[in-house]
Each structure stands twice: as C-alpha cells, then as structure tokens.
C-alpha cells in the first residue's frame, strides 16, 4: 500500500512491522485512530500506554527496544510533562502528539531535542503523525553530506540530522567534500556553508553540478550573512535551496525533507520514462 504524505513524501509501501512503536496516549479516540492508521499504512502493531506506569513498563520490560515513542505532553501519573523527560533519559526517540501548544511549549520541545511534534488541531492530524513516523523510520536510507569549515557548525548539523535518523558524513572544506562524494555514491543531499576558504559554497556547488545532475543529488546552501543576494547567486550556481542561519529547526527539517522528496519523485519519473521507452 503506497502512502502519499501530506507534504509530498512518497512511501513505497513496504512493511515496517519490525519496528517497535510505543504510543503513550490516554485518549481512547486518538489511540484507536493512531493505532489503526499505522497498522493500515505500515503494518505496525502499536503498543498503547494509557498512563505513565504503562509507559515505563513498556520501555523497561522488553528485550526489543522501542524504535520510536509517540507521546502526549501530559499523561495520567505524569501531568507535568515527566513522560518527555523520562523518554529522553531512556534515549528513546520521541514524537510529541499534543492538543496543547504554546510558544513556551514549543521552545521546551525544541530544547529537549525530540524528533518532532504534531498538533491535534485538524482532521489531518493522524496522517501528519503517520508521515512523521514514516520519515523517522526510513530516513536512515538517505545519506547527507555536511560541508562547513567550522567544527561547531558541522557538529550542530550532524547532531540535528542524526536526531532525525539520517545517515551523515562531514567535510571541513570543499576539496574534502569532493573526495567524500567520490567515495560515497549514495549521498543524495549536500548541505554546504557559503563562506569557506579556497573553495567557497558557490564554487563547490558548480563543481558538484559538473558531475552530478539534479536527478542524482540535491544541494542546500547555508549562510549567516545578511547579504540577501547570496540565495540568488547560490541557486544560479546550481543549488536547489538556501537557508539563512540561525535556523528555525522545523523549517530546516522541512527543507531537507522537501528536497529529498523532490529527488525521489524525479528518480521515479525517470524510471517510468525509461520503462516506457
């Protein structure tokens, strides 16, 4: 069964039932809807936890660790958000599924470095949650190269992408990046800083494009410069997208997803054309 995500993601339909998913949700309605949808789409049997005690038991009393937890912010027995802290302490990747959302809550979720959050604010909420689950469980198939001469910037991006379950490589300059690309033909996305010595982001993009077409690899440029013309110059050099620092976490993740979705669609179309020819 193919699943076309609300944001453009395409899921081919293979079973993901080897993953153990824990759902901490005291609402019978939402727990039933989420369980049914994940079973329909991905053949996943969800372990439902109605309160904090159930959640602790599910996490700690199974030899097969949870690949992902989905949790409300407040649970019976953990009315002040203790469930989130517990899941972080147990190193369980977590998606928050909540109907209570304010800027302070968003800031807290981002600070805790959870995988994602989905709001229960529309009839599409369950499908949006299913897409978030699918992305996390399949992101390891995507190899992303981070290019930045700043060790701190490389570390931040690497940590953020690994939190989303991507496979990552890093390079401290353009020359190293080109060597990494040669050795790793599975790289599908390059995220490169603009301001680097010797080979800057523009020149690196031009060199990459001389050997890799749009159907092979996507390129996102990043910069903390206030020069608004950088994005135009970068796109003209062969880039696909441009993001200004400091990032808004949700925007950055959406940009990465959208570029990979576009790449998958281009490849799928090319395969169809080849099959017809």
Residues 220 and 154 in one domain: yes
Residues 147 and 112 in one domain: no
Q: What is the pLDDT of residue 13?
A: 65
Residues 114 and 58 in one domain: yes
Phi and psi at 101, nearest 5°, equal: -145, 125
Any idea how long the chain is? Answer: 277
What residue numbers bound the domain in which 95 lies?
A: 3-138
Q: What is the pLDDT of residue 274?
A: 75
Report the domain count for the chain: 2
Residues 103 and 148 in one domain: no
Q: What is the pLDDT of residue 10?
A: 64
Q: What is the pLDDT of residue 111?
A: 81
Q: Please state, in angstroms and rounded to a whole number, the distance separating the CA atoms of residues 105 and 101.
A: 6
Last residue of a domain, one of 117, 138, 159: 138
Q: Please state, in angstroms and rounded to a whole number, the distance separating the CA atoms of residues 124 and 4.
A: 13
Taking the C-alpha atoms of 158, 66, 114 and 258 in order, what is their torsion angle to the nearest 10 degrees? Answer: 60
Q: Please state, in angstroms and rounded to a whole number, the distance separating the CA atoms of residues 93 and 84.
A: 10
- Condensed to tens digits (0 to 9), the pLDDT of residues 207-251 reads 999 999 988 999 999 998 878 888 999 999 999 999 999 888 889
Residues 149 and 235 in one domain: yes
Q: Please state, in angstroms and rounded to a whole number, the distance separating the CA atoms of residues 226 and 182.
A: 33
Residues 36 and 115 in one domain: yes
Q: What is the pLDDT of residue 2?
A: 47
Residues 128 and 176 in one domain: no
- Condensed to tens digits (0 to 9), the pLDDT of residues 39-73 reads 998 999 999 999 999 999 999 987 789 999 999 98
Which value, in Å, is the radius of gyration of the alpha carbons in the chain?
Answer: 20
Last residue of a domain, one of 138, 167, 197: 138
Residues 148 and 44 in one domain: no
Residues of the chain with pLDDT under 50: 1-2
Last residue of a domain, one of 86, 112, 138: 138
Q: Which residues contact 30 (CB under 8 A, 6 or more apart)?
A: 97, 120, 126
Residues 184 and 164 in one domain: yes
Longest dimension (CA), the chain: 62
DSSP state of 49: E
């Amino acid at each position: 069964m193919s699943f076309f995500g609300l944001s453009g993601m395409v899921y081919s339909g293979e079973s993901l039932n080897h993953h153990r998913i824990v759902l901490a949700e005291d609402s019978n309605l939402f727990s039933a809807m989420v369980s049914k949808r994940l079973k329909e789409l991905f053949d996943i049997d969800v372990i439902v936890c109605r309160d904090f005690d159930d959640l602790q038991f599910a996490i700690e009393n199974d030899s097969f660790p949870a690949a992902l937890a989905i949790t409300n912010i407040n649970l019976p027995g953990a009315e002040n958000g203790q469930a989130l802290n517990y899941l972080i302490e147990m190193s369980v990747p977590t998606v928050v599924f909540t109907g209570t959302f304010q800027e302070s809550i968003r800031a807290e979720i981002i600070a805790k470095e959870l995988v994602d959050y989905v709001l229960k604010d529309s009839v599409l909420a369950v499908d949006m949650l299913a897409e978030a689950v699918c992305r996390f469980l399949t992101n390891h198939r995507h190899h992303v190269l981070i290019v930045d001469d700043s060790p701190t910037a490389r570390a931040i991006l690497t940590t953020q992408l690994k939190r989303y379950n991507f496979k990552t490589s890093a390079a401290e300059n353009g020359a190293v990046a080109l060597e990494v690309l040669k050795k790793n033909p599975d790289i599908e996305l390059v995220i490169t800083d603009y301001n680097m010595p010797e080979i800057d982001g523009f020149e690196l993009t031009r060199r990459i494009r001389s050997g890799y077409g749009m159907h092979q690899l996507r390129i996102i440029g990043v910069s903390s410069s206030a020069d608004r013309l950088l994005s135009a110059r970068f796109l003209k050099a062969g880039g696909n997208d441009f993001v200004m620092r400091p990032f808004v976490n949700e925007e950055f993740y959406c940009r990465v997803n959208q570029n990979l979705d576009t790449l998958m669609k281009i490849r799928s179309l090319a395969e169809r054309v080849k099959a017809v020819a």
